[in-house]
Amino acid sequence: MRINAGLRVPLTVIGGFLGAGKTTLVNALLAEPGGARLAVLVNDFGAVNIDASLIVAREGDTIALSNGCVCCAMGDDLGRGIATILARRPTPEHIVVEASGVADPWRIAEIALIDPDLVLAGVVVLADASGITALLTDPLVGETARRQLQAADLLFLTKPDLAPAESIEAARAALAELAPKARLLTVSHGAVPPEVVLGETGADRRLGPSRPARHASLFETVTLRPSRPLAEAELRAALDRLPAPVLRAKGLLRMAGETGRAWLVQRVGRRTEIAPHPLPTGAAEALVLIGTAGTDAAAEAFRPLGLTPVQALQIPR
């Protein structure tokens, strides 16, 4: 279910192996976002070199910039980081996630395909021109690097000034073979127009078993359908009992004692908003829970309210 689908926030994932130049690209985006109000999620602030003249405030793990952008440290909790960003006012116009150097960027991108407030703009993967061919044949990390590159909608071959011409050609050939549908550009020092990085190159991507999962699930989403109208008090009480793994809840549910009106439910972390909302004719009433492992089990607590889980989906790491 999607509410206010026209207001979905584009999400771009920036991936690539350690040392490929991801943080340099993020620094460039924060300095010149192309007029967009960006929210950038990074693992930590340590390597992000934000121009001091741009910084207007620091609040815990968030840095606010004078150009309307924010940079947030997410640590290992991507889902909560995205939930926090989506709760900001004004809402960011675009979210960028810098994946860790060993992460599969497609697994991160998949959250944009299940979250009703997000739309996948694209997966951008960087590769170091001087070392990518050797990296791909490394017996320990070669598979990780290949999976990263295969996830790309847009490939940036970086650090061309540090590689001889033959290495650049070999790298381009390897990338073209691994990701034949991805656009390939050569980039130096993150110097690429923001509209290229943030363009909707992945708009036609779909959720699916693109490759086998190797680890436990990262995200779960459960859709619940109501069998009767609900009173605000009982709905709020049930939401307040949700355990920590449930990061977000969003839905449109019929209001007890009213015709043509519903409750619009918005919950991020421990903050809940329930407000009256017109119920359009034929609207799909549902409550969607999004979280980490345990969200499916948490949905069972809504059965006494007549909310029955009808669809559960796990997103592998």
Residues of the chain whose pLDDT is less than 70?
1-6, 44-49, 51, 75-77, 200-219, 268-270, 282, 311-317
286-313: per-residue pLDDT in tens? 898 877 778 888 888 899 999 988 866 5
Domains 5-198 and 217-316 share a fold: no
pTM exceeds 0.75, yes or no: no
Give kind and range of the element (H or E) at residue 147. helix 142-150
- What's the confidence (pLDDT) of residue 93? 93
Distance CA 272, CA 240 (A): 8
Domain 217-316 has CATH 3.30.1220.10: yes
- How far apart, in whole angstroms, are the C-alpha atoms of residue 303 and residue 105? 35
Angle at 213 between CA 212 and CA 218, to 5 degrees: 150
Sorted by where each begins, the domain ranges of the chain are: 5-198, 217-316
> Which pLDDT does position 127 carry in this prediction?
95
Q: What pLDDT does residue 171 have? A: 94
Pick the CATH number of 5-198 from 3.40.1390.10, 3.40.50.300, 3.40.440.10, 3.30.70.1450: 3.40.50.300
